[in-house]
């Protein structure tokens, strides 16, 4: 941070699986939001084994945007694995995690940057989630489960709006390959008695493609990780 309390540098992490049509608009919006608000920023896209033209789009975008970094995987490793790769690549004092599909409204970001109040994690929640009903129901059940098991009052732990002070993540080891990465991040901040701010964010309908978040494979992976990681996370 500078002397005025503003954030100087942000690393944006964007996991992407088959987001060729959404990436250009999402990156363009983020670049306009950040360009005049911070001294340094980078956008890190993790292409998590996409089978569409995501890789070709990233090659083209990297010629246009000097701040764009990207990691390319030939196989799908999972949301948590992508976040972990982004964290290991990020170099700025603050980290912003969102989704490449652009469904989460990031316009609150400049205000948080200009009015930094000493928080260590800002996490969004979606009062009006624009997803299919089955995904909304799954999300409510998952959040209730996480609140009960990990003694947190967060409304939407998986919301793709997370702004984190990176000092809290140094020397931390994360294990999740799926959705449990969000719980690990929150637990990491809580363990160090960090200040957590929860804010409402707008949520938009998906423009292009299909989300994998409600697939049975993703759900089973999350439940398996929950069972595996529960003892260690509770002990923190």
User: Does 78 reside within a domain?
Assistant: yes
The DSSP H or E segment spanning 188 is helix 180-191
User: Does 31 reside within a domain?
Assistant: yes
- In the chain, the number of structural domains is 1
pTM of the shown model: 0.92
The DSSP H or E segment spanning 70 is strand 68-73
User: Does 101 reside within a domain?
Assistant: yes
CB-CB neighbours of 169 under 10 Å: 18
Residue 166 has pLDDT above 90, yes or no: yes
Q: Which residues of 100-111 are buried (b: 16+ CB within 10 A; e: fewer)?
A: bbbbbbbebbee
User: Does 121 reside within a domain?
Assistant: yes
Which residues form the domain of 216?
A: 9-235
Strand partners, 50: none
Give the largest Cα separation in the chain, rounded. Answer: 49
The DSSP H or E segment spanning 9 is strand 9-16
User: Does 2 reside within a domain?
Assistant: no
Residue carrying the six token digits 């439940």? 223
User: Does 1 reside within a domain?
Assistant: no
β-strands 40-48, 162-165 pairing = unpaired
The CATH number given to whatever domain includes residue 121 is 3.90.550.10
**pLDDT tens digits for range 176-216:** 998 899 999 999 999 899 999 999 999 999 888 777 665 67
Q: Mean pLDDT across the chain, nearest whole number?
A: 90
Span between the terminal Cα atoms of the chain, in Å? 29
Sign of CA dihedral 225, 228, 234, 236: negative
**pLDDT tens digits for range 152-164:** 889 999 999 999 9
Are 71 and 89 in contact by the 8 Å Cβ rule? The answer is yes
User: Does 149 reside within a domain?
Assistant: yes
CA distance 90 to 88: 6
User: Does 171 reside within a domain?
Assistant: yes
Residue 131 has pLDDT above 60, yes or no: yes
């Amino acid at each position: 941070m500078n002397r005025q309390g503003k954030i100087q540098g942000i690393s944006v992490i964007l996991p992407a699986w088959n987001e060729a049509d959404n990436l250009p608009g999402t990156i363009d919006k983020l670049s306009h939001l950040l360009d005049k608000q911070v001294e340094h920023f980078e956008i890190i896209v993790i292409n998590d084994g996409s089978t569409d033209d995501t890789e070709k789009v990233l090659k083209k975008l990297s010629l246009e945007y000097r701040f764009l970094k990207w990691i390319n995987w030939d196989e799908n490793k999972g949301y948590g694995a992508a976040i972990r790769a982004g964290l290991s690549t990020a170099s700025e004092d603050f980290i912003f995690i969102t989704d490449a599909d652009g469904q989460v409204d990031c316009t609150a970001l400049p205000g948080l940057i200009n009015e930094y109040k000493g928080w260590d994690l800002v996490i969004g929640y979606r009062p009006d989630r624009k997803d299919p009903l089955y995904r909304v129901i799954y999300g409510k059940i998952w959040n209730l489960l996480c609140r009960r098991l990990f003694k947190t009052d967060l409304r939407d732990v998986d919301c793709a709006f997370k702004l984190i002070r990176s000092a809290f993540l140094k020397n931390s080891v994360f294990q999740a390959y799926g959705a449990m990465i969000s719980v690990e991040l929150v637990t990491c901040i809580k363990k160090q008695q960090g200040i957590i701010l929860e804010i409402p964010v707008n949520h938009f309908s998906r423009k292009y493609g299909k989300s994998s978040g409600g697939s049975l494979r993703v759900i089973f992976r999350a439940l398996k990780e929950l069972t595996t990681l529960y003892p260690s996370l509770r002990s923190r």
